[in-house]
Amino acid sequence: AVALTAVIPTIVAASHRRARSIELIEPRAELGHAANLLWMMEGKDASPDRVHWLDTYLVLLADHGLNASTFTARVIASTGSDLTSCLVGAIGALKGPAHGGATHAAATMLEKIGTPENAEAWLQDAHARHARFAGFGHRVYRTYDPRAKILKEMAKTAAPKLYKTAEKTEEVALRILHEAHPERPNATNVDFWAAVVLTGVGIPKELFTCIFATSRVAGWTAHVLESLADLRIMRPASVWKGPQPGTKPLPLASR
């Protein structure tokens, strides 16, 4: 588990450099986890502030209950499979845009809005087209994501210019959502402010999901080890929603 937690950021940094035809860089034993990731990506020492911002993000996103990717890892673990296979499955689940891709979507939305002055018109137009606002709403939380509060405060110094656009975007988006659906718990989630912080750190947005995986691997491995210690295969029951008993089948000619 410790080795996988260490090797994932090494793979992320190596793939980032290889895609740009840049020489790969070895990790340095004297550097911490976040500092090493930035070193292997960029080939230079990152400032203490950038290391702190990234380290805080990695800690905040390390685990979050039985989310889709963690559940996937635990299902695989319940079969008695190995730790690496469990993480491969978890990464496959995280790759989905509804899970690990949300931070990238939030960054793209903020890029399109551009300035605080554009937020109102852009979001009103998106709402009229029934487009979703990236970075808002959560499957579990019915209030402001506590992780987002920490990232929002950090974003003030990590990305001050983008922070102003994000702050106005958040204000307008929450107002529109509340006016349209007052019965729903419309709140900002962790992906919205994570996009601002990671941008401030200097992480390219195409790597946001990979950085998410770099963080979440600690949680995945902990869950898998817990599952392996009490090996019971997961076999949820399913409910049939097709034709009820007694329904006449369609004639072959009509199928």
| Residue 255 predicted with pLDDT over 70 | yes
Residue 108 counted as domain residue: yes
**What residues does 83 pair with on adjacent strands?**
none
Residue 247 counted as domain residue: no
Residue 95 counted as domain residue: yes
Q: Does the annotation mark 178 as catalytic?
A: no
pLDDT given at position 61: 97
Residue 73 counted as domain residue: yes
| Residue 18 predicted with pLDDT over 90 | yes
Residue 52 counted as domain residue: yes
| Residue 233 predicted with pLDDT over 80 | yes
Residue 39 counted as domain residue: no
- Distance between CA atoms of 138 and 143, rounded to whole angstroms? 9
Res. 83 pLDDT band, cuts 50 70 90: very high
Q: Does the annotation mark 138 as catalytic?
A: yes
CB 91 within 8 A of CB 69: yes
In the predicted model, what is the mean pLDDT of the chain? 94
How many distinct structural domains can be found in the chain?
A: 1
The CATH number of whichever domain residue 168 belongs to comes to: 1.10.230.10
- Given 82, 191, 223, 230, which residue is catalytic? 191
Res. 141 pLDDT band, cuts 50 70 90: low
pTM for the predicted model, two decimal places: 0.90
- Given 130, 138, 223, 230, which residue is catalytic? 138
Q: Is 233 exposed, middle or buried (0-12, 13-18, 19+ CB in 10 A)?
A: exposed
